[in-house]
Amino acid sequence: MIHQFIFAGPKPGLSAEAFQCYWVHFHAVDYAARIPQIRQYLVAPRLRYPCKREVPFFEGVAEIWVANEEEQIASFRSPEFLQGARADEPRWAAFWQTFVHEAESVVIRESVSSTTEFTKFYSFLKRQPGTDLDEFRRLLLKAHGETVLALPGLQGYLIGFARRGLYGLGEPRFDAIEVWSFEDLEKMREALVPERLEAVEESWRSVADDRYLFTFVGRENWIIRPGERSGGA
């Protein structure tokens, strides 16, 4: 599957709260969810969580899964997208600041609950200059992955590696987005005490360019859960 991350913020004059409410309760349900090719879909509004690397201008992220490139192209050509979701964007989002990351995701720890909506910690990662892409991916999955898996209360863990086809015409902005899932914000705070977070930071610095390492925290709201829709319809 293609796993797409879409980070966005409110248009000028719209509060963060109004932006998040509209995205979750109106845009997601009335427009985006009607695109027939979308297999899974969630929206995670931003949670206020102090972190020195936090991206300040995003107020939410959507995660969208489609089966393959053919269905992705079909989704972009669909009337539900062109006359629905795309036409609705200017009403609420600063679409000129939207960041899209297209990924081939590797699930390292699958969340065991099909009903819980998790608090998620996202990190944007770019490999160090001169580092081979395959080596970056290997190190992120092995040594770094072991550090993350040691976090107490970690319910789910995946890495969304930028699709290899994106490197044909240049470099994507980030090579990977890492996602950790916790039961709630308090469980995440307990896991990310300073000494544990420093261990993760040190692990990040061993594989990623520290200048382009950013984080985002949100609470997922499932619109189309895994298994609810199949066959692109």
Q: What is the CATH number for 15?
A: 3.30.70.100
**Is 232 among the domain residues?**
no
**Is 229 among the domain residues?**
no
**Is 178 among the domain residues?**
yes
**Is 197 among the domain residues?**
yes
> What is residue 232's predicted lDDT score, i.e. its pLDDT?
43
The tens digit of pLDDT for each residue in 106-156 reads: 999 998 666 679 999 999 999 999 999 999 999 999 989 999 999 999 999
| Residue segments in the chain with a per-residue pLDDT below the cut of 50 | 232-233
Task: Say which residues have a Cβ less than 8 Å from residue 172's Cβ, sequence separation at least 6.
Answer: 101, 102, 162, 166
For residue 184, the tally of other CB atoms under 10 A from its CB is 16
> What is residue 98's predicted lDDT score, i.e. its pLDDT?
94
**Is 183 among the domain residues?**
yes
**Is 124 among the domain residues?**
yes
Q: How many domains does one find in the chain?
A: 1
**Is 17 among the domain residues?**
yes
**Is 155 among the domain residues?**
yes
Which residue range forms the structural domain that includes residue 92?
2-224
